[in-house]
Amino acid sequence: MSPLIIALDFAQPERALALAKQLGRKRCRVKIGKELFTRSGTALVEKLVKQGFDVFLDLKYHDIPNTVARACLAAADLGVWMINVHALGGRNMLLAAREVLEKRRERPLLVAVTVLTSFNSLDLYAVGLHGQLEENVLRLVRLSYNCGLDGVVCSPHEIVRIRQTVGPDFKIVTPGIRPVGSLQDDQKRVMTPVEALKLGADYLVIGRPITAVSEPLQALLEIEASIEEVAT
């Protein structure tokens, strides 16, 4: 299965469904984020799951442990492939999320967001997190790993240190992926698909380089061709 996860960052569910159909479930997985989920609710998720898509429900749960656990269980009931929480929610929250999912025979992957790829060191300092950005990421990675999560969401720039810290089996999901020639948009820590896979990423989240172009399928095919040797 492809390591590519396409971010369906649209306001209208019709556009998301049309793009998913055009790209095809055998070619990629899809991600549903806050705007699309808020506008379309669970119906769109259930429709994509029924069509055979692996859905990454990207809602970044961050609340008290019981609330997050119940939200994770609700997401699992939708049949999604992956869900995420914020590692900054702390040990008790991460454990609660993992434990509620472990009770299910079939469950989604549970990954934790470390530091958003739109952040740099100055942004971290502004919210009271001191020290180097990478050290903050690694601290959250260790916490997530020790709490038994399946992986983390991080910038591709932290892949090597994460692999050195937690080994080869812990999943690494990397947004901030930009093919050669693409705009960075609001991302500050970016990398090409080939570079990220070579460093050890498991899944690549790609949005606007595919969703905001006139020929999204052609853009996806070009990315597929560029990563063919690395992904096989």
Query: By CB neighbour count within 10 A (0-12 exposed, 13-18 middle, 19+ buried), where does 1 fall?
Result: exposed
* pLDDT, tens only, 93-114: 999 999 999 999 899 999 999 9
63 is known to lie in a ligand binding site: yes
Of 60, 171, 188, 198, which is the active-site residue? 60
Q: What domains sit in the chain, N to C, each tagged with a CATH number?
A: 4-231 (3.20.20.70)
Among this protein's residues, is 171 annotated catalytic? no
9 is known to lie in a ligand binding site: yes
* pLDDT, tens only, 171-228: 999 998 888 655 545 444 568 999 999 999 999 999 999 999 999 999 999 999 999 8
pTM (two decimals): 0.92
15 is known to lie in a ligand binding site: no
Task: For the chain, give the mean pLDDT.
Answer: 92
168 is known to lie in a ligand binding site: no
